[in-house]
Amino acid sequence: MTTDTFEKDILKGLQSNPKRLFSKYFYDDKGSAIFQQIMHMPEYYLPGCETEILQHRVKDIINKLPQASYDVVELGAGDGSKTAFFLDAMIREKKKVTYIPLDISPEILSVNEEIMRQKLPGLCVKPIAGDYFETLKNISSREIPKIILFLGSNIGNFEGKKALDFIRFVKSFMGKGDYFMLGVDLKKHPRTILAAYDDPAGITKRFNINLLDRINRELNGNFNTADFDHYASYDPISGATKSYLISKVEQKVRVSGHTLTFSPYEAIHMEISQKYSLHDLDRIRENAGFKNDHHFTDSKSYFSISLFEV
Ligand code: AVI
């Protein structure tokens, strides 16, 4: 991503009505560190539930995978520490596995390789750094059947129809006998969901505010972050969790030489974290053109790892 695109997206978003920013820009070094804190918050149940499935339902998942060898391609792999449970179980079940983690950050891919070297010595790891909209092309011509992993409920951060478009895009790189393995946060009691995005310690607020700090640093902005508050909402009908920053006062802010005006209580829409029912997932699978699906949930049915077969 160039500074140009960042600048264009930020200005376009802040000059729109309603104003909006894009959560993909949360993850500079500071934002990534705050996200690690979110992952450890007691209210943020997602990683714990997904890990439970990868630890305790992994044999059921592998039983659905008929081939002896697979390339396991992970989109936005990060450090791969959760994926190691799956890879370990695949190896124990005598599958021949090549692990291909894709991530925008070469640094995190080095950490990923090191974790795999320690936990699963002998595993063949072929990391590819870059935007997965680009790097996916590099894996499409392989002969070996593929499992493409997209974990962590990252699909929830795609706005509306873009989630389906993305799944279709991924499918266009897949062939018969390949599987898409999607980690998805499910609809549940609205208070449980809301608490995960509105923690009393204010870590999620810092995560959102950090984007204003980033704009100040990188785009010569002068946001006074104390003049913004964080507000999260969950709509139990649509399943959309939305995060906003609310301007507490009427104010003018300069970004990249442009003046932006905020009315009192004007909101900037920062992020969507969509929640799905298993029925929603069946519909998505069908609309994306996969043959069938299997859902593996944790003991509280908070989260699903869903397997879609091409
Ligand atoms: C990365 N993504 C799946 C997280 C989510 O739950 O939507 C990002 C996040 N935003 C606030 N808390 C966590």
Alpha helix segments (H runs only) across the chain = 3-15, 29-39, 46-56, 58-63, 83-92, 106-119, 132-135, 162-171, 190-196, 203-218, 278-288
CA of 96 to the centre of ligand 1 (A): 33
Handedness of CA 102, 37, 185, 90 (dihedral sign): positive
Q: Tell me which residue has its CA closest to atom 12 in ligand 1.
A: 197
For residue 273, give the ligand 1 atom closest to its CA: 7
Statement: residue 146 has pLDDT above 90: yes
Which residue pairs from 234-237 have beta carbons closer than 8 angstroms and sit at least 24 positions apart in sequence? 234/190, 234/193, 234/194, 234/197, 234/275, 236/187, 236/190
* 100-138 confidence digits (pLDDT tens): 999 988 999 999 999 999 999 999 999 999 988 888 888
> Rounded to 5, what percent of the chain is helix, strand, coil?
40, 25, 30
CATH homologous superfamily for the domain 46-188+277-309? Vaccinia Virus protein VP39 (3.40.50.150)
CA of 145 to the centre of ligand 1 (A): 30
Q: The tokens of 206 are what?
A: 């810092």
ipTM (interface pTM):
0.99
* Confidence at residue 145, expressed as pLDDT on a 0 to 100 scale: 96
* Confidence at residue 138, expressed as pLDDT on a 0 to 100 scale: 82
CA of 180 to the centre of ligand 1 (A): 21
4 sits in the region (left: phi over 0; alpha: psi -120 to 50; else beta) called alpha
Statement: residue 225 has pLDDT above 90: yes
For residue 207, give the ligand 1 atom closest to its CA: 11
Of all residues in the chain, the percent with pLDDT exceeding 90 is 93
CA dist., res. 13 & res. 239, Å (int): 23
* 170-194 confidence digits (pLDDT tens): 999 999 999 999 999 999 999 999 9
Average pLDDT over residues 149-158: 97
Strands 303-309 and 292-297, by their bridges, are antiparallel
Q: The tokens of 309 are what?
A: 């077969």
Statement: residue 1 has pLDDT above 60: no
**271 Cβ closer than 6 Å to some ligand 1 atom:** yes
Cβ(112)–Cβ(77) under 8 Å?
yes
pTM of this structure: 0.95
**37 Cβ closer than 6 Å to some ligand 1 atom:** no
Q: How far is CA 96 from CA 53, 56, 79, 92, 120, in A?
A: 22, 21, 21, 10, 13
Domain with CATH 3.40.50.150 in the chain: 46-188+277-309
* 248-305 confidence digits (pLDDT tens): 999 999 999 999 999 999 999 999 999 999 999 999 999 999 998 999 999 999 999 9
* 38-47 confidence digits (pLDDT tens): 999 999 999 9
Statement: residue 150 has pLDDT above 90: yes
233 C-beta neighbours (distance < 10 Å), count: 13
* 49-104 confidence digits (pLDDT tens): 999 999 999 999 999 999 999 999 999 999 999 999 999 999 999 999 999 999 98
Statement: residue 142 has pLDDT above 80: no
**154 Cβ closer than 6 Å to some ligand 1 atom:** yes
Of all residues in the chain, the percent with pLDDT exceeding 70 is 98
215 C-beta neighbours (distance < 10 Å), count: 23
